[in-house]
Amino acid sequence: MTSHEGRSLIVVTGATGNIGRSLVGRLLADGAAVRALTRDPARAGLPAGAETVGADLTGADDLASLLAGADALFLNLAAGGEQAATAVLDAAVRAGVRRVVLNSSMAVTDTPADDTHFIARLHAGLERAVRDSGLEWTFVRGGNYATNALAWAPSIRESGVVREAHPGAQGVPVHEADLADVAAVALLDRSGAHLGKAYVVTGPERMTLARQVAEIAAATGREIRVEQISEEEAAEAMSGRYLTREAALELVRMFGRTVDAPPFPVSDAVERVTGRPGRTFARWARDHAADFS
Ligand X SMILES: NC(=O)c1ccc[n+]([C@@H]2O[C@H](COP(=O)([O-])OP(=O)(O)OC[C@H]3O[C@@H](n4cnc5c(N)ncnc54)[C@H](OP(=O)(O)O)[C@@H]3O)[C@@H](O)[C@H]2O)c1
Q: Considering the complex, state which of residue 24 and residue 79 has its C-beta at the smaller distance from ligand X.
A: 79
Cα distance between the two ends of the chain = 44
Cβ 6 to ligand X, closest distance in Å? 28
Cβ 192 to ligand X, closest distance in Å? 25
Cβ 105 to ligand X, closest distance in Å? 4
Cβ 119 to ligand X, closest distance in Å? 7
Q: Give a three-class secondary structure readout of 224-240.
A: CEEEECCHHHHHHHHCC
Cβ 223 to ligand X, closest distance in Å? 27
User: What's the angle, vertex CA 63, arms to CA 69 and CA 184, rounded to 5?
Assistant: 55
Residue nearest to ligand X (CB): 17
Q: Considering the complex, state which of residue 2 and residue 58 has its C-beta at the smaller distance from ligand X.
A: 58
**Angle of helix 245-257 versus helix 231-238 axis, rounded to 10:** 130
- Alpha carbon distances (Å) from 103 to 182, 249, 261: 10, 24, 26
Q: Considering the complex, state which of residue 95 and residue 118 has its C-beta at the smaller distance from ligand X.
A: 118
Q: Considering the complex, state which of residue 45 and residue 277 has its C-beta at the smaller distance from ligand X.
A: 45
Q: Considering the complex, state which of residue 8 and residue 18 has its C-beta at the smaller distance from ligand X.
A: 18
What is the sign of the dihedral through the CA atoms of 255, 261, 264 and 268? Answer: positive
Give the interface with ligand X as residue ranges (CB under 6 A).
14, 16-20, 38-40, 44, 55-58, 76-80, 84, 103, 105, 142-145, 147-148
Partners of residue 75 on adjacent β-strands? 102
